[in-house]
Structure 1
């Protein structure tokens, strides 16, 4: 075979490899879609809700405060927490947050992001989709009868928390944001997803991100602007200064998204920018099982939403490290 023939063979191999990488990129950008049961397993009143984001229909549940709480009194406007799940999850899987919230007097609005649960799917899900979906959920909640439009907070797990912080930078108006087990960097979430799908990180962790951006029509400028330390430096802080209180929680036992991301974030932010809590539960979706989680979350919400403090017993003494940075 002559030189020209070998060049053709080389070109074909390059094209085939590029097609394979593209296919892997597409596969990695399609989250698993877990359906929900017909009804949430809760001991309070609830209703199904539908709303739209980006032209797609999203499904959710609205849970009312537990009977006997001050917020459940007739005529009272109710504070609300929007709960945003992470990549490959759904609203059923974040029901684990619901009971302490509605027992403390909050309404809880949880929903399936696009391409998740029972919501409609799109071609190329991304962190920016999570951003837009949580913004749509907040605006939907703000218009619900009986809900106090000036007392809304967001609790986001994993990529749901990442999307919530991106939403702050786009002007989402809430009283507080809480993140749990959130990746701080795009590289962290990419490597975690490749690991979950048993796809080798090298060299794909460098080749796949551009595919995601192209398919989701995200520009390099938008990608660079999605910088969590910069967003927090600009948007997070004390409400009296016109900023949004942010509490970031991570478990030292998280084997999917390492708590090291949050530790490194601490070094990049001015003191007092955010509240931070490390707990000791095992896994990526178990932080709320530690009493210290709720001993911090409920008072943080009450203070941020300017609500009367109410002491609630959450169990044993916490084994956690709380930091304010």
Structure 2
């Protein structure tokens, strides 16, 4: 027979195993957002397009201007959605950019919309899906691979910054409502599911990294503040960071964190209330459209002084 001490140890082990199992299952669910199907395609000229990323099919829309007579190759802006979204939900960005004369590519990241699944979604999968989109653009003779802009919302913006760190051929980058700290992303997902941040955030965060094969060292090295600081020193890619001061899902302190570490980064705070509403502020388009027009409408790469990557607005 087991002694009292042995019974106590056995119960502790069983509780620990059960607790780990529950945390694992919660993490699996957290890394597989609810699939939101796309609405009807927008009523503009477009192509249904697809390519491969991580062995899965990525599906998207290429919004074009076949009637304008512009000689190819033409510049293109890629719009990357955030966690739990899809390509139709970010038409709020894509259609104004298309109306302004740009060819626009928008797509469903893996485990979103009509694209194939990912085993464990992370910022790296969003990065890799964007890199695959950029590679697909390079395969198109009618699209200019040297004039690619990217607009990334939330985790789509995070993945876009990670893409900068591996030399992605991005000519100009805009992020909106981007989380920049891992703990912020985990806590936001727990809030989305109505779960308490304490004590789950640290536990689930650790299991997320374990499932994804990401070390803490790599995670710390992939901090957007570090990447953007390196980008600014190299005067490589003009960047504009946008965040609403009234975003309670991904708080504006994320942009404040970057601005404190990279004081000259070009950024804009807007005022609409919510996480997916920045474009409703007139200031958003007053800055975004000229930003892309400046950096994408010329074949010549702008000098660092002309690009003004350090201007703060």
Same-fold call, TM cutoff 0.5: yes
Q: Pick closer, same or farther for the CA change 1:3–1:76 going to 2, 3 Å.
A: closer
**CA offsets, 1:223-269, max 9 Å, x none?**
122111110011146xxx65100000011121211111111221111
2:212 aligns with 216
Matched, 1:115 2:111: yes
SS of residue matched to 2:179: coil
Q: Is 1:33–1:116's contact at 8 Å kept on the other side of the alignment?
A: yes
Work out the CA distance in 2 between the residues paired with 1:193 and 1:245: 30
Q: CA deviation at 1:295?
A: 0.8
1:292 aligns with 283
Q: CA deviation at 1:270?
A: 4.2
1:320 aligns with none
Matched, 1:324 2:312: yes
With structure 1 as the length reference, what TM-score do the two structures score?
A: 0.88
Matched, 1:226 2:219: no
Q: CA deviation at 1:34?
A: 0.8
**CA offsets, 1:34-81, max 9 Å, x none?**
1113x4223x210100101111111000001385xxxx3242431100
> Deviating runs (4+, > 6 A) in structure 1?
none
SS of residue matched to 2:24: helix
Work out the CA distance in 2 between the residues paired with 1:236 and 1:163: 18
SS of residue matched to 1:202: helix
1:55 aligns with 55
1:35 aligns with 37
Match of 1:195 among 184, 187, 191: 191
Work out the CA distance in 2 between the residues paired with 1:269 and 1:74: 38
C-alpha RMSD of matched pairs (Å): 1.9
In the alignment, structure 2 segments of 5+ residues that lack a partner are: 300-310
Q: Is 2:76–2:144's contact at 8 Å kept on the other side of the alignment?
A: yes
- Aligned pair count reads 301
More displaced 10-residue stretch of structure 1: 14-23 or 155-164: 14-23
2:296 aligns with 305
1:138 aligns with 134
SS of residue matched to 2:205: helix
**CA offsets, 1:19-43, max 9 Å, x none?**
1111111121111111113x4223x
Q: CA deviation at 1:176?
A: 0.8
Work out the CA distance in 2 between the residues paired with 1:119 and 1:217: 23
More displaced 10-residue stretch of structure 1: 150-159 or 76-85: 76-85
Matched, 1:184 2:206: no
Q: Is 1:157–1:181's contact at 8 Å kept on the other side of the alignment?
A: yes
In the alignment, structure 1 segments of 5+ residues that lack a partner are: 309-322
Q: Is 1:91–1:110's contact at 8 Å kept on the other side of the alignment?
A: yes
Matched, 1:149 2:150: no
Q: Is 1:66–1:102's contact at 8 Å kept on the other side of the alignment?
A: no
1:316 aligns with none
